[in-house]
């Protein structure tokens, strides 16, 4: 770990501090170039945009620009460390946008006293960008912030900790249930955690067919049930009419465990209580709710996923968020709606069932990958994600009427 720490610090410091920079896209070598780039030539696109605001997409980089915005209240699994401490994470997000979808992204860290101040700040600068990726904002404030910004902004606003996590979780979960011979509308699901990611994951699984009454959600005080008077409106959606109170109560006979909470909260003895052919997604990072070796030691019939790259079946948001924004921006979508999210789920699912290219095997350090218990979702380096996920999202945007332009000819074919 000490070696990793120093490597990470060196990576961020050298050859120059940070992970992103600004590059020029046009020539700026001569006096004539500068007269076009700035005064007097720049006045011409200014006049055109003033006359027709949509021309901002024709003459500026707005259509390929994403803002990655946070207040630093829920940085990774480290907690509320403030806006400045979140900057390496936001730069990392910008790096991923560029690397995987060739989207330019600028990180913005906002200091504020109230959620209303944060909302006003973001809404007031939103028109600069083609889309807004909210990141590392704690619950329950994140729900209010996203809801208000979606209403006030005419561009896509997407809280990746909620919806990116949910999309990849749903894609892997449905594939895992298919392999295990189970139907999503019939399974009993236990969700350990009741924050932004947990609630979004369960809501999207419901969109995909899971039954709300078969979901048992737990927070730090145990099962969320209808007789509790200490739960917010978002947890209230998952208040189950049950006498069961503990993880051990609800894990008995469960088909699915989804963990978005903290390390080592699920024991081997708990896993033994689950139904035949269970599915466990232990997604706490860097330490999962149960280590795969412990789970596999007590059950040989399970499918296991984590958020880590050193185990099979990594649940990683990079499988979706760059490509969702790519598809949304390419048709100038005004939002990222439920249909677009489900389209992304199905596109990611389908890729895992296809033969894996040699380039992906090499990049992932694998000798072979085939759809099954050890490979239920694609690897992040899979180049097919761009075309298939972005294409599916863009088509869903057009089909649901939130796109402002038609699909470009031969888009992502």
For residue 85, give the 3-state DSSP assignment: helix
Mark whether 62 is an active-site residue.
Answer: no
* Cβ count near 385 (within 10 Å): 24
**Confidence at residue 413, expressed as pLDDT on a 0 to 100 scale:** 80
Which tens digits make up the pLDDT trace of 161-186? 899 999 999 999 999 999 999 999 99
Mark whether 57 is an active-site residue.
Answer: no
**Confidence at residue 79, expressed as pLDDT on a 0 to 100 scale:** 87
Position 38 pLDDT exceeds 80 = yes
**Confidence at residue 76, expressed as pLDDT on a 0 to 100 scale:** 84
**Confidence at residue 127, expressed as pLDDT on a 0 to 100 scale:** 96
Count CA atoms within 13 Å of residue 31 on its CB side.
0
Position 263 pLDDT exceeds 70 = yes
Which tens digits make up the pLDDT trace of 8-22? 999 999 999 999 999
DSSP letters spanning 269-308: HHHHTSPSS-EEEE--SSS-SS-HHHHHHH-SS-EEEES-
- Written as six digits, the tokens of 370 are 């085939």
- Written as six digits, the tokens of 149 are 């910004």
| Overall pTM > 0.85 | yes
DSSP letters spanning 127-173: GGSSEEEE-S--TTHHHHHHHHHHHH-SS-EEEHHHHHHHHHHHHHH
**Confidence at residue 4, expressed as pLDDT on a 0 to 100 scale:** 87
Please give the Cα distance from 391 to 243 (Å, whole number): 46
Which member of 62, 93, 214, 341 is catalytic? 93
Please give the Cα distance from 55 to 107 (Å, whole number): 25
Which member of 11, 19, 38, 62 is catalytic? 38
Q: How confident is the model at residue 364 (pLDDT cuts 50, 70, 90)?
A: confident
Which tens digits make up the pLDDT trace of 203-232? 999 999 999 999 999 999 999 999 999 999
Position 324 pLDDT exceeds 70 = yes
Q: How confident is the model at residue 403 (pLDDT cuts 50, 70, 90)?
A: very high
Position 391 pLDDT exceeds 80 = yes
Which tens digits make up the pLDDT trace of 74-97? 988 788 999 999 999 999 999 999
- Written as six digits, the tokens of 2 are 């000490």
Instruction: For the chain, report the end-to-end CA distance as a whole number of angstroms.
Output: 44
């Amino acid at each position: 770990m000490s070696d990793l720490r120093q490597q990470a610090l060196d990576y961020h410091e050298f050859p120059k501090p940070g992970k992103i920079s600004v590059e020029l896209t046009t020539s700026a070598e001569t006096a004539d170039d500068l007269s076009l780039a700035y005064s007097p030539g720049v006045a011409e696109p200014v006049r055109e945009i003033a006359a027709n605001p949509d021309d901002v997409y024709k003459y500026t980089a707005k259509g390929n620009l994403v803002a990655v915005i946070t207040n630093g209240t829920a940085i990774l699994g480290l907690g509320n460390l403030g806006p400045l401490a979140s900057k390496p994470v936001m730069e990392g997000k910008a790096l991923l946008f560029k690397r995987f979808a060739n989207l330019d992204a600028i990180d913005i860290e906002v200091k504020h006293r109230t959620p209303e101040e944060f909302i006003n700040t973001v809404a007031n600068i939103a028109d600069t960008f083609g889309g807004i990726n909210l990141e590392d904002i704690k619950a329950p404030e994140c729900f209010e912030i996203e809801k208000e910004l979606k209403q006030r902004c005419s561009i896509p606003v997407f809280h990746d900790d909620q919806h990116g996590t949910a999309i990849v979780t749903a894609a892997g979960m449905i594939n895992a249930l298919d392999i295990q011979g189970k139907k999503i509308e019939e399974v009993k699901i236990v969700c350990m955690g009741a924050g932004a990611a947990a609630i979004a994951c369960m809501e999207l699984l419901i969109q995909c067919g899971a039954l709300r009454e078969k979901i048992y959600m737990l927070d730090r005080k145990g099962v969320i049930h209808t007789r509790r008077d200490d739960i917010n409106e978002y947890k209230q959606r998952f208040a189950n009419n049950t006498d069961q109170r503990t993880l051990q109560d609800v894990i008995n006979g469960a088909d699915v465990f989804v963990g978005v909470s903290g390390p080592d909260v699920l024991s081997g003895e708990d896993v033994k209580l689950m139904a035949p052919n269970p599915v466990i997604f232990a997604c706490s990072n860097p330490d999962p709710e149960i280590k795969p070796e412990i789970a596999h030691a007590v059950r040989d019939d399970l499918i296991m996923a984590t958020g880590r790259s050193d185990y099979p079946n990594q649940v990683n948001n990079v499988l979706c968020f760059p490509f969702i924004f790519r598809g949304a921006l390419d048709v100038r979508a005004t939002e990222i709606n439920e249909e677009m999210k489900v389209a992304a789920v199905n596109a990611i699912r389908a890729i895992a069932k296809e033969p894996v290219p040699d380039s992906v095997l090499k990049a992932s350090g694998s000798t072979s990958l085939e759809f099954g218990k050890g490979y239920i979702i694609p690897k992040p380096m899979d180049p097919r994600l761009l075309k298939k996920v972005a294409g599916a999202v863009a088509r869903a945007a057009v089909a649901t009427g939130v796109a402002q332009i038609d699909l470009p000819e031969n888009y992502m074919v």
